[in-house]
Amino acid sequence: SQTIHQWPATLVQPVGSPLSLECTVEGTSNPNLYWYRQAAGRGLQLLFYSVGIGQISSEVPQNLSASRPQDRQFILSSKKLLLSDSGFYLCAWSWANYEQYFGPGTRLTVT
Partner 1 sequence: ELKVEQNPLFLSMQEGKNYTIYCNYSTTSDRLYWYRQDPGKSLESLFVLLSNGAVKQEGRLMASLDTKARLSTLHITAAVHDLSATYFCAVDNDMRFGAGTRLTVKP
Q: In the complex, what is the shortest distance from the CB of residue 20 to partner 1, in angstroms, rounded to a whole number?
A: 20
Q: In the complex, what is the shortest distance from the CB of residue 80 to partner 1, in angstroms, rounded to a whole number?
A: 27
Q: Residue 11 or 102: which CB sits closer to partner 1?
A: 102
Q: Residue 65 or 102: which CB sits closer to partner 1?
A: 102
Q: In the complex, what is the shortest distance from the CB of residue 68 to partner 1, in angstroms, rounded to a whole number?
A: 17
Separation of alpha carbons 53 and 70, rounded Å: 6
Phi, psi of 85 (to 5 degrees): -80, -10
Q: State the residues that interact with partner 1 by CB under 8 A.
A: 34, 36, 42-44, 46, 49, 59, 90, 92, 94, 97-105
Q: Residue 44 or 56: which CB sits closer to partner 1?
A: 44
Q: Residue 83 or 96: which CB sits closer to partner 1?
A: 96
Question: Which own/partner pairs from 28-32 qualify as long-range (CB within 8 Å, at least 24 positions apart)?
Answer: 28/2, 28/72, 28/93, 28/95, 29/71, 29/72, 30/71, 31/71, 31/72, 31/93, 31/94, 31/95, 32/93, 32/94, 32/95, 32/96, 32/97
Q: In the complex, what is the shortest distance from the CB of residue 97 to partner 1, in angstroms, rounded to a whole number?
A: 6
